[in-house]
């Protein structure tokens, strides 16, 4: 998405936090999208609309930053990550999560009561920043900025700038210890 976007990308994905890892460990959440396949009689619903459930990749702001920097090192990137709690479920979804303990809890306390509790918990958890950071959802905004100071464009392509722009004086030629060592040893010459 970042590659084809002009300036901004927005997305909502699962958040990676210690609270979510704890929920998975106690079988209150899934590491895979099991419920989607179970809801389609175990024959379709996920990966390539087949019977194999997708892995739930959970993000952090730091992971988004690394991922975008790896694919777009030529640009300055601004990332705003906002984890939060989101318990948007209905009665059917709660009772259908038989692969975890959620369906069992919903059957014992009643799905409507559990939904009321989850909405109250969501409000309380999102109120405090420390608890909100452990949320199950992750809203992210990525903004593409100007080119890095060490990148230049020529003929519509990005290149490493031959001279580094310096705010304190004239441009300095780009050299490296490796390039100097190669030049002094003659390695790479025919």
For 101-159, write each residue's pLDDT tens digit. Answer: 888 899 999 999 999 999 999 999 999 999 999 999 999 999 999 999 999 999 999 99
Comparing CA positions, the residue from 47, 43, 14 lying closest to residue 31 is 14
Residue 18, pLDDT > 50, answer: yes
pTM for the structure as a whole: 0.72
Long-range contacts from 58-61, C-beta under 8 angstroms, 24+ separation? 58/13, 58/14, 58/15, 58/16, 58/17, 58/20, 58/138, 59/13, 59/14, 59/15, 59/16, 59/138, 59/140, 60/15, 60/16, 60/17, 60/138, 61/140
Residue 169, pLDDT > 80, answer: no
SS3 category, 133? coil
């Amino acid at each position: 998405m970042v590659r084809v976007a002009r300036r901004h990308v927005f997305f909502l994905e699962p958040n990676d936090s210690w609270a979510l890892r704890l929920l998975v460990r106690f079988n209150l959440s899934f590491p895979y999208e099991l419920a989607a396949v179970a809801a389609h009689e175990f024959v379709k619903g996920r990966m390539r609309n087949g019977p194999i459930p997708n892995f739930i990749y959970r993000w952090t702001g730091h992971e988004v930053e690394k991922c975008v920097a790896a694919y777009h090192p030529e640009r300055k990137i601004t990332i705003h990550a906002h984890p939060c709690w989101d318990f948007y479920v209905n009665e059917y979804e709660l009772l259908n999560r038989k692969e975890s303990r959620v369906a069992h809890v919903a059957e014992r306390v009643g799905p409507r009561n559990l939904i009321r509790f989850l909405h109250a918990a969501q409000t309380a958890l999102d109120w405090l920043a420390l608890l909100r950071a452990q949320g199950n959802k992750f809203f992210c905004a990525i903004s593409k900025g100007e080119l890095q100071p060490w990148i230049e464009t020529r003929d519509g392509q990005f290149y490493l700038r031959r001279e580094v722009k310096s705010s304190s004086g004239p441009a300095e030629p780009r050299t490296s210890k490796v390039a100097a060592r190669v030049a002094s040893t003659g390695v790479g010459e025919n």
